[in-house]
């Protein structure tokens, strides 16, 4: 019980506050307010995970005068810990420190306790944490002939006593190790307990002698094109390293439907593709571990997201049903299973969790992006778009959410474009066309120079200029439109051939020469423009359909997710009419939102329940069944002239960086910190520079 | 709501009764009274599992006049079922029949629906059933593009709707099969749901197209010497077949301690012995399936019991700790795990359950025997003794239970006896000595004839008379004592050499010649008598210790379990002072009580909870720590003269039958039927003729 005479304690950065009787341990005060403070040792002062800082001074806004002497004096446990492991000045162990007066307590975010160092700040967002797998240190009573309870049973007793843990089940592979580990640790052990859902029994998944003070998880976004993997500490929540690689299933088919066809045509097609993706994930996990100096055996939880076909193939499920009406998912709900059942060699007890799929064409990746961007957490109407072969669209707010998939085809990814190619070194990714001369300039993946800058020829010599990738094709079509090369109907204007040698006849239509060398000529054909028109009309029609379902509300924010969102400048999306009108500053890339959502589910099981619940509430619209879709589609074929609305279109925005492989490089971003951005019913965050390309 | 005007329904053989409004389905009436009626199809009238018979006539004792017209008329569902599958005269489907007047309803016990026929009535006890794995038939809604829930999710919805089943987890190996099985069954499937504990989520462990109407389980007693396995229908509860085989670990050591030593001396000793016992169980399961015309893939649940060393080796746990103080069990609690984790190739989703161990020397076999004999369910004081290398002793009643293990050594099993051997053809198992002439007669395993009957020489010629087994050594020592050949102190009386050539000098002591041929002479040496004295003193001292803990109550019943109990005549146990005094008719063999307890746990998960709870309440006594033990032991060395108390000692009791391999043959016993014998707080049942030898 607390009353108004009790000291006031404010926790930052969450801002949660409460009054607590003098003598309350700081960690207890935090937890009673729902502020997550890690602890492995359960208050014995040995793990150091529960460190806090006390901000000194007057905090007028909060009416608090906080100072160091409002905490209990330095304790023996803290002295011992500082002596053994070191403790930064100002840091206290919240388990061994009690409230003695008003306090402002900071939870530091740099809690790298162990050897593994954060190499790349891939995503510096901090989430409230409550991981599905926790490390719990206990001291187990020794065997007693008068009460001959088994060693495991006494371990469970200790877990119940110290951690209030209901009797767990044990993973069978641990059975031979219980006795040796207990004796090796001198009856002190750290139990890794997986407890995803409260309606399931906790599981003992690993057991370590003595204090084990670090464990890791991976969050994996299985894209059709690229697999992105993030390694996070389950204790600090920090992302330690990230990596990515092309999805090796590409050799069975570039796009989803060709992979489904491959399965239908080849009896061993499904097993081949399942083995390919699992092998690639295993290799990526080992690679990221090697980079971070972490043992794969310390990876003890995994979260996977992907579109329905990727999701099914990863699980070893034949995706054929997804290729034909009624597009039946084998399972749509979230799934929890042992990582070993997915042929992953991590910790033998490692768990795996897959987010739910929304519908037959709207996958766990869209669910993860929804979790990350949180339209359901805000009152504003948000449009969340993730474009691959299909566009996955989620629209709405806390009141109501609708979702659909629109058959954009692969044009936005550079496929079905005459000189299109995947995003790789040498591919044109940015284009500008001078409206006066119709002369282009461009950038290719692999150099920072524009094609009209000194040194470009030398810099591009390594790769050559090989083709045009998805973002490049959108930019060139948009620039052609802005320069008047194509009309609102999408026709390349042959009359301009008189003004510029860039416009050339091509059969009965015309084409635009983007780049020409003695070896190679890259041209944009009339059919390329048509392909983009069809794709953008499909996307727009899908959005329009969902808007109609919600009574055509004003869109307050547009979040462009994934590779599409990361590399397409929002203004071009507006120019071409990919997305409806919205204040330009309210339309932005949210990077690899699916990967961010996967990471959230890795670090906090509450997010799993949240997205499981949200997915059941999303209204799923099947575009193929909607009579209005075709009308929207036809109406959306033209390019709208919006130059007057967007005078800022001439401004060139900074680009995200790519590494030599064409993947986005991690660019530390110090500008965003603070707990619980995801918990805010707030704005989508622009994290284009940190997105992994899928 | 029911009132006194409602019809009265009485269910037999349980005797449970209640009043139900007219129109109540009979199956609902049964279930509301806790009478278990099987149903796979959930009331669709297609599985036929819920058959009942209505007893016609006046039941004066119950005040009921029951007749066929007190049931609703023959329904369309019943007509269809009878037409397709046949229904015996008088049988009704309780799901499709409603109460219309007073009824006496019989639950028939011969519900063999499918091909598998009961070959051997191994144990005809009927238990109230509620198996941990159930078959649930459901009709799943087809995919709907407007509500794109996954196929598995709609299956779970149907299970929730029709069976009130909480959302299950799914075994990963099933993931690829969901869609094909649903389509093969035309959206009708039978789900095998494992739901052992209510505090764990149910598991989908197998899925069958259409109606699957039979599933099996095995109950296995892993003895140090013999492994016994029973195959039961999880639906009818009937034991379909039983089998047994020597434990192949014997080649690593005859007794438990020599096996523990083997593990300590050989780095691969533990894996070798684990593989040996698992392989033997797999072979037995396949053998019993072949006999019963059942596919091993239809075995979907397993229960295992065994002493602590067998339990640990089966689980792949090093038993070294059990060989030395403080005799620490790796785990003592019950364990549930996939059968595949035990290298068993049954249904891929088959579950396994191991009963709890009581203490370091009192195993899951003693727990199972306790469950079967139920001292905790009765007010009488019961002594339950299972003798192997150690005697496992449980003593008490519903008020209080104590348990201990006493180090009898292997003498009772024929080991450490000069001419001792395992129970095998040719071994002497019964002995009588004429007190006047001191001439013996005996029986060997493999023939029904006594050695003094015509034809014995021919009948025994196949095997010869090779040695003496455990039951034989006890009988010969008891008969020697009754004939005055040995004194109360256990000394072979050399003075009798004058009277009989059977008494011969042997070093400084004398010996008794039991059998002599030109090739072989079988003698009982003074050291053999000493070995039996030491063993019986240890057993008696253990019992005495437990009696002391309970304030030396009168023993109302003695239940002799296992091979020891099956082959030793109780009167000899009394004569030699193996067990304390008790009315001879209250002392009897209960056969393979451990196997029976395992079968109970297989057929009703409530029994699992019951024994788990009882084991925590049993007070464990470690004889090695008890100062009184040594005194009891010394005092128990002598043979007590009880001839006056047991004049019936001359009567020869019928023997259980053995097959040619020395294993007990199944002998159908029609004398016991009726539900819930195990549920009675009643007497131990004598089932010597049905026991599997361990």
B330 interaction partners in chain A (CB closer than 8 Å): 150-152, 175, 178-179
Identity of the highest mean pLDDT range in A244-258, B272-286, B440-454 = B272-286
- Are both B331 and B392 inside the same structural domain? no
Alpha-carbon span A533 to A539, nearest angstrom: 10
> DSSP states of A307-368 as a string?
-HHHHHHHTT---GGGGSTT---S--S-EEEEGGGGT--SSTT-EEEEPPP-BTTB-HHHHH
For A612-626, the pLDDT digits (tens) are 999 999 999 999 889
Q: Is any Cβ of chain A less than 8 angstroms from the Cβ of B267? A: no
Q: What is the pLDDT at residue A643?
A: 56
> DSSP states of B268-284 as a string?
THHHHHHHHHHHHHHHH
- Are both A536 and A656 inside the same structural domain? yes
Six-digit token string for B248: 């192949």
Q: Which three-class secondary structure state does DSSP give residue A504?
A: strand
Beta-strand runs (E) in B140-259: 169-170, 188-194, 203-209, 216-222, 226-233, 239-246
- Residue B590: other Cβ atoms inside 10 A: 27
Q: What is the pLDDT at residue A109?
A: 67
Chain-wide mean pLDDT for chain A? 86
- Are both B324 and B466 inside the same structural domain? no
Confidence category of residue A685, pLDDT binned at 50, 70, 90:
very low
**Dihedral (Cα; B180, B184, B189, B194), 10-degree rounding:** -40
Inter-chain CB proximity A148 and B622 less than 8 Å: yes
A187 interaction partners in chain B (CB closer than 8 Å): none
Alpha-carbon span A225 to A365, nearest angstrom: 13
- Residue where one domain finishes, among candidates B145, B178, B209: B209
Residue from B189, B199, B278, B331 whose CB has the most chain A CBs within 10 Å, to mutate: B331
Mean pLDDT of A582-593: 86
Inter-CA distances, A33 with A28, A53, A551, B694, Å: 9, 17, 40, 60
Nearest-CA residue of chain B relative to A619?
B147
Residue from A142, A173, A179, A612 whose CB has the most chain B CBs within 10 Å, to mutate: A179
Six-digit token string for A515: 């780049």
For B29-40, the pLDDT digits (tens) are 988 888 888 888
Confidence category of residue B645, pLDDT binned at 50, 70, 90:
low
Q: Is any Cβ of chain B less than 8 angstroms from the Cβ of A332? A: yes
- Residue where one domain finishes, among candidates B459, B493, B517: B517
Q: What is the pLDDT at residue B570?
A: 84
Tell which wins on pLDDT, A54 or A166: A166
Alpha-carbon span B549 to B572, nearest angstrom: 26
Nearest-CA residue of chain B relative to A179?
B330
B316 interaction partners in chain A (CB closer than 8 Å): 175-176
CA angle, residues A664, A667, A672, in degrees to nearest 5: 125
Let me know: does A170 contact A179? Beta carbons within 8 Å: no
Inter-chain CB proximity A175 and B199 less than 8 Å: no
Domain annotation covers residue B522: no
Strand order in the sheet with B91-93: B17-19, B8-12, B103-106, B51-54, B91-93
Given a cut of 60, whether residue B262 has pLDDT beyond it is: yes
Domain annotation covers residue B214: no
Chain A 152-211, residues with CB within 8 Å of chain B CB atoms? 152-153, 156, 166, 169-170, 172-173, 175-176, 178-180, 197, 199-201
Residue from B147, B166, B179 whose CB has the most chain A CBs within 10 Å, to mutate: B179
- Are both A523 and A535 inside the same structural domain? no
DSSP 8-state code for residue A172: G
Cα A133 → chain centroid: 19
Inter-chain CB proximity A620 and B175 less than 8 Å: no
Inter-CA distances, A328 with A136, A281, B5, B54, B248, Å: 41, 26, 53, 47, 51
CATH number at residue B228: 3.30.420.480
Alpha-carbon span A288 to A317, nearest angstrom: 27
Q: What is the pLDDT at residue B642?
A: 58
- Are both B594 and B566 inside the same structural domain? yes
Confidence category of residue B109, pLDDT binned at 50, 70, 90:
low
Let me know: does B394 contact B376? Beta carbons within 8 Å: no
- Residue where one domain finishes, among candidates A72, A88, A106: A106
For A235-264, the pLDDT digits (tens) are 988 889 999 998 999 899 878 888 999 999
Q: Is any Cβ of chain B less than 8 angstroms from the Cβ of A277? A: no
Let me know: does A483 contact A492? Beta carbons within 8 Å: no
Mean pLDDT of A108-132: 57
How many CA atoms within 13 Å lie on the side-chain side of A551?
A: 3
Chain-wide mean pLDDT for chain B? 86
- Are both A208 and A284 inside the same structural domain? yes
Longest dimension (CA), chain B: 103
Domain annotation covers residue B32: yes
- Are both B256 and B356 inside the same structural domain? yes
Let me know: does B288 contact B339? Beta carbons within 8 Å: no
Q: How far is A135 from chain B (nearest CA, A)?
A: 21
Q: Which three-class secondary structure state does DSSP give residue B377?
A: helix
Q: Residue B627's domain spans which residues?
A: 373-411+531-690
* Of the listed ranges A56-60, A228-232, B676-680, the one predicted with least confidence: B676-680
Domain annotation covers residue A678: no
* Of the listed ranges A132-146, A515-529, B44-58, B497-511, the one predicted with least confidence: B44-58
Inter-chain CB proximity B325 and A359 less than 8 Å: no
B325 interaction partners in chain A (CB closer than 8 Å): 145
Let me know: does A207 contact A177? Beta carbons within 8 Å: yes
Alpha-carbon span A176 to A298, nearest angstrom: 19
Chain B 612-631, residues with CB within 8 Å of chain A CB atoms? 620, 622, 624-625
Domain annotation covers residue A684: no
Domain annotation covers residue A179: yes
Give the burial string for A289-319 (b: 16+ CB within 10 Å, else e).
beebebebebbbbbbbbbbbbbbbbbbbbbb
Q: What is the pLDDT at residue A657?
A: 46
Q: What is the pLDDT at residue B643?
A: 57
Six-digit token string for A76: 């023996």
Q: What is the pLDDT at residue A2?
A: 56
Inter-chain CB proximity B156 and A333 less than 8 Å: yes
- Are both B686 and B597 inside the same structural domain? yes
Given a cut of 50, whether residue B409 has pLDDT beyond it is: yes
- Are both B391 and B539 inside the same structural domain? yes
Alpha-carbon span A589 to A655, nearest angstrom: 12
Domain annotation covers residue A692: no
For A7-39, the pLDDT digits (tens) are 999 988 778 889 999 999 999 999 888 888 888
For A71-115, the pLDDT digits (tens) are 899 999 999 999 988 888 889 999 999 999 998 898 876 654 433
Q: How far is B654 from chain A (nearest CA, A)?
A: 40
For A397-411, the pLDDT digits (tens) are 999 999 999 988 778
Q: What is the pLDDT at residue A687?
A: 31
- Are both A91 and A44 inside the same structural domain? yes
Cα B333 → chain centroid: 19
For B647-662, the pLDDT digits (tens) are 555 444 444 444 444 3
For residue B95, give the nearest of B134, B50, B65, B142 by alpha carbon.
B50
Q: What is the pLDDT at residue B671?
A: 33
Mean pLDDT of B93-121: 68
For residue A170, give the nearest of A134, A194, A190, A148 by alpha carbon.
A194
Given a cut of 90, whether residue B259 has pLDDT beyond it is: yes
Q: What is the pLDDT at residue A231?
A: 96
Residue B620, beta-bridge partner list:
B403
Q: What are phi and psi of A561, to 5 degrees?
A: -105, 160
Inter-chain CB proximity A145 and B326 less than 8 Å: yes
Given a cut of 60, whether residue B678 has pLDDT beyond it is: no
CATH number at residue B66: 3.10.20.30
- Are both A657 and A538 inside the same structural domain? yes
Domain annotation covers residue A497: yes
Mean pLDDT of B303-313: 97
Which residue among B146, B325, B328 sits closest to A622, beta carbon to beta carbon?
A: B146
Given a cut of 70, whether residue A220 has pLDDT beyond it is: yes
Alpha-carbon span A32 to B524, nearest angstrom: 76
Nearest-CA residue of chain B relative to A338?
B172
Inter-chain CB proximity B326 and A152 less than 8 Å: no
Q: What are phi and psi of B91, to 5 degrees?
A: -85, 145
Six-digit token string for B238: 């009937």
Chain B 355-414, residues with CB within 8 Å of chain A CB atoms? 357-360
Q: Is any Cβ of chain B less than 8 angstroms from the Cβ of A634? A: no
Percent of chain A at pLDDT above 90? 61
Report the domain count for chain A: 4
Q: What is the pLDDT at residue A215?
A: 96
Alpha-carbon span A87 to B109, nearest angstrom: 72
Radius of gyration of chain B (CA): 28
Let me know: does A512 contact A523? Beta carbons within 8 Å: yes
Alpha-carbon span B233 to A166, nearest angstrom: 33
Q: Which three-class secondary structure state does DSSP give residue A222?
A: strand
- Are both B324 and B380 inside the same structural domain? no
């Amino acid at each position: 019980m607390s009353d108004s005479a009790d000291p006031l304690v404010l926790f930052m950065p969450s801002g949660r506050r409460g009054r607590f009787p003098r003598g309350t341990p700081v960690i207890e005060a935090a937890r009673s307010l729902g502020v997550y403070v890690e602890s492995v040792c359960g208050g014995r002062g040995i793990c150091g995970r529960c460190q806090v800082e006390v901000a000194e001074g007057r905090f007028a806004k909060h009416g608090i005068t906080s100072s160091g002497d409002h905490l209990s004096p330095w304790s023996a446990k803290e002295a011992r810990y500082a002596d053994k492991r070191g403790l930064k000045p100002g840091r206290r162990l919240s388990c061994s420190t009690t409230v003695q007066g008003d306090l402002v307590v900071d939870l530091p975010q740099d809690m790298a306790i162990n050897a593994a160092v954060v190499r790349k700040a891939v995503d510096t967002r901090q989430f409230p944490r409550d991981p599905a797998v926790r490390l719990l240190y206990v001291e187990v009573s020794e065997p007693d002939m008068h009460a001959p309870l088994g060693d495991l049973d006494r371990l469970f007793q200790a877990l119940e006593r110290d951690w209030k843990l209901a009797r767990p089940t044990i993973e069978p592979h641990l059975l031979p190790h219980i006795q040796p580990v207990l004796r090796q640790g001198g009856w002190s052990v750290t139990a890794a307990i997986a407890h995803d859902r409260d309606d399931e029994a906790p599981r003992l998944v690993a057991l370590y002698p003595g204090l084990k003070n670090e464990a890791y998880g991976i969050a994996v976004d299985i894209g059709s094109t690229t697999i992105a993997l993030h390694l996070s500490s389950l204790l600090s929540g920090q992302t330690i390293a990230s990596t990515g690689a092309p999805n090796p299933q590409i050799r069975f088919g570039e796009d989803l439907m060709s992979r489904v066809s491959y399965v239908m045509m080849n009896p061993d097609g499904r097993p081949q593709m399942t083995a390919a993706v699992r092998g690639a994930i295993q290799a990526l996990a080992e690679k990221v571990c090697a980079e971070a100096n972490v043992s794969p055996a310390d990876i003890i939880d995994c979260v996977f997201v992907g579109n329905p076909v990727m999701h099914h193939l990863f699980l070893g499920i034949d995706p054929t049903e997804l290729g034909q009406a009624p597009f039946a998912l084998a399972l749509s709900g979230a799934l929890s299973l042992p990582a070993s059942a997915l042929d992953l060699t991590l910790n033998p007890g490692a768990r795996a969790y897959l987010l739910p799929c929304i519908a037959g064409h709207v996958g766990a990746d869209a669910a993860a992006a929804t979790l990350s961007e949180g339209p359901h957490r805000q009152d504003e109407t948000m449009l969340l778009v993730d474009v691959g072969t299909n566009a996955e669209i989620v629209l709405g707010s806390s009141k109501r959410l609708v979702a659909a998939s629109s058959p954009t085809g692969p044009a936005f990814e550079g496929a079905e474009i005459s000189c299109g190619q995947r995003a790789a070194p040498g591919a044109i990714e940015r284009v500008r066309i001078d409206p006066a001369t119709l002369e282009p300039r461009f950038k290719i993946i692999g150099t920072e120079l524009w094609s009209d800058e000194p040194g470009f020829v030398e810099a591009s010599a390594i790769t050559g200029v090989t083709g045009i990738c998805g973002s490049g094709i959108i930019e060139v079509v948009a620039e052609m439109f802005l320069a008047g090369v194509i009309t609102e109907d999408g026709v390349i204007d042959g009359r301009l051939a008189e003004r510029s040698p860039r416009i050339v006849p091509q059969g009965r239509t015309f084409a635009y020469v983007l780049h020409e060398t003695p070896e190679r000529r890259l041209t944009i054909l009339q059919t390329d423009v048509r392909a983009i028109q069809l794709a953008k009309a499909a996307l727009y029609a899908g959005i329009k359909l969902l808007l109609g379902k919600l009574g055509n509300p004003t869109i307050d924010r547009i979040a462009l997710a994934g590779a599409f969102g990361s590399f397409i400048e929002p203004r071009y999306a507006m120019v071409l009419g990919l997305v409806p009108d919205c204040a330009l500053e309210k339309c932005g890339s949210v990077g690899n939102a699916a990967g961010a959502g996967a990471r959230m589910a890795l670090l906090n099981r509450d997010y799993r329940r949240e997205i499981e619940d949200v997915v059941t509430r999303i209204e799923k619209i099947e575009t193929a069944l909607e009579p209005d879709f075709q009308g929207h589609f036809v109406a959306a074929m033209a390019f709208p002239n919006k130059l007057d609305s967007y005078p800022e279109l001439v401004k060139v925005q900074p680009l995200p960086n790519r590494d030599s492989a064409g993947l986005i490089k991690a660019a530390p971003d110090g500008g965003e910190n603070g707990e619980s951005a995801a918990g805010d019913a707030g704005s989508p965050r622009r994290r284009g520079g940190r997105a992994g390309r899928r």
